[in-house]
Amino acid sequence: MRRLNRKYLLPAVALTAISLVAATGCSKSSQTEQPAATATNVVNTTSSPAVDFKGLNFSWYIHYDWAVSSPWGQDPPTQWIKDQKGVNVTFIQSGGAATQKFNSMIVSNELPDLITLDRAADLEKLVQAGQLAPIDAYINKYPNLKKWAGDKTLGMLKSSDGKLYGFPDYYGGENGNTGWAVNKEIYKALGSPKLETFEDLEAYLRKVKEAYPNVIPMETGELSGGGVLQAGNLIYSGYSEDRNIYFLDVLKAYPDKNQFQSIFKDPALLKSVVESNKLFNEKLITQDAFTQKSDQLKEKLKTGRVAVVGLNNIFQVEEGHRILAEKNNENGYMVIPPIHDKGLNASKIKPANFSTLGWNVNVITKKAKDPEKLFAYMDWATGLEGQQLLTFGPKGLLWDEVDKDGVPIPNDKAKTIPKADKDKLKIGGGNYFANSNLRQNLINLNEERYGDKKPDQFDGASAVKILKASSTDTTEFEGIQPLPDSDLGIIYVQVKDLMKEAYARAVFAKNSDEALQIINKAQSNAEAAGYDKVLKYMTDKWQENLKKMKG
């Protein structure tokens, strides 16, 4: 699962509940190449050796404004851990002001034992200040993290000083969630035409506009974190066999011939801007695309006033699908393969991206009394027993036994408990040591073998199959951006701002010539700001990553 920002990430976490994912990382041990554990070799997986956690008491701060942690032991999984493992946790809340809280803890030298945070500037700040306990020495002593993550991923997680501090979360996923979907009712009514190329798409959208004047032919979603139309991201990736939305939406640069090049010169961007401008001027896409909020998108999807939708997280259509399908189980939304330019190889169009590094990391500070025991706990939590517990709840609640693959078998209570009552149990939340390969496979097999799929249920399995085929691994590009408060970081912010402004103006332009002029002008301004220095920095960091991944 690819980490972009929280807007993309949390829906992506929800995706793990229905997807089967395999790891791509490799590890080296005793001169012999060993693959990281994958979803296909979960069969007969054994738990970690018994570790005595009794007496492990630690404080934990989750470094996000939105993070509000319930007291430890008030849900079945943490109550079981408290009672059976003897582990107690005291949560420190951000109070909706994570940056201020984080800085005050550093200044006052009152850091907690464990911090969950992004792999970004604040993590590096702790490393530079010498506030973290390295975990390298524990990797070979405890089995799960090394087994499931592999040395490729662990190597990429090493900090600037060459040491490993971060225990990853939701690591190892092999598919993203960016894609296209169609309103099935409208699509069938218009003859289910071929929707493969942008020519096909334009023709279909014009039919929709004529036949359904009150429907938005193509919904673009709320503006992305990078200032790009979400459907615009998909259009961009559809104009080249080697483009991914990560280049446009996040990096603002693209790799070519072992170097990063200016995004403003990218032929795929120029073509996509022309296409988006045409669709906007013909009123074939959302006219409030740059101002609408997520609630507005949800309302359109729930009422079926959308014919085609392209989103960074296409699983946002699930709620709308359920509402439409409850009225007629033939209706709802269906994910389709990526739309692309004529003449390109469809199998090489990969808009969705993922990183084996996962979402964020958990770091042990030097305030921890027993860092090894804390690491051992996290390693247990990321293994089979931990993921069974944190994903399905404790044995005896909703399951009493597992099958030959370690998959919990739902008991009678699990089959009859009302959804509202099950939600109150809060099972699945707070899994900050999640192992995507193991967790996703357990969930997938549980649903496949023991689930009761309803006629109106969203076809997640089909969606995942399409998304997996149209995803690419962008792990090698992690951490290559300059820090925000550095000289290059300041230039980089200017470049991002130039892109946001130029992209919006280009989409709104009177015609394609004006749209291209706007992008070209932005390129000149970026060059004047020192964009070439940023591109060189990113290239160098990328090459360093490639060396790390080779071991």
- Regarding whether 196 and 96 lie in a shared domain, the answer is no
C-alpha 170 chain-centroid distance: 9
User: pTM score, two decimals?
Assistant: 0.81
Mean pLDDT along residues 540-550 = 91
- Per the structure, how many domains does the chain have? 2
Query: What's the CA gap between 133 and 58, in Å, rounded?
Result: 14
- Regarding whether 157 and 10 lie in a shared domain, the answer is yes
- Regarding whether 190 and 137 lie in a shared domain, the answer is no
**Percent helix, strand and coil across the chain, each to the nearest 5:** 45, 15, 40
Mean pLDDT along residues 185-198 = 98
Encode pLDDT of 92-132 as tens digits.
999 999 999 999 999 999 999 999 999 888 998 999 999 99
- Regarding whether 218 and 108 lie in a shared domain, the answer is no
* Domain range enclosing 448: 6-174+356-476
Query: What's the CA gap between 525 and 495, in Å, rounded?
Result: 8
Mean pLDDT along residues 509-522 = 98
Encode pLDDT of 31-66 as tens digits.
233 345 554 444 444 455 567 899 999 999 999 999
Structural domain contains residue 116? yes
Final residue belonging to a domain, choices 300, 316, 350:
350
Final residue belonging to a domain, choices 421, 443, 476:
476
- Regarding whether 423 and 316 lie in a shared domain, the answer is no
Query: What's the CA gap between 335 and 177, in Å, rounded?
Result: 11
Structural domain contains residue 528? no
Burial 236-271 (b: 16+ CB within 10 A, else e): bbbbbbebbbbbbbbbbbbbeeeebebbbebebbbb
Q: What is the CATH number of the domain that holds 55?
A: 3.40.190.10
Question: Around 279, how many Cα atoms within 13 Å sit in the side-chain half-sphere?
Answer: 29
* 3 state SS of 218: strand
Alpha helices in 470-530 (DSSP H): 487-508, 512-529
Pick the range with the lowest mean pLDDT from 282-291, 410-419, 452-461: 452-461
Mean pLDDT along residues 201-210 = 98
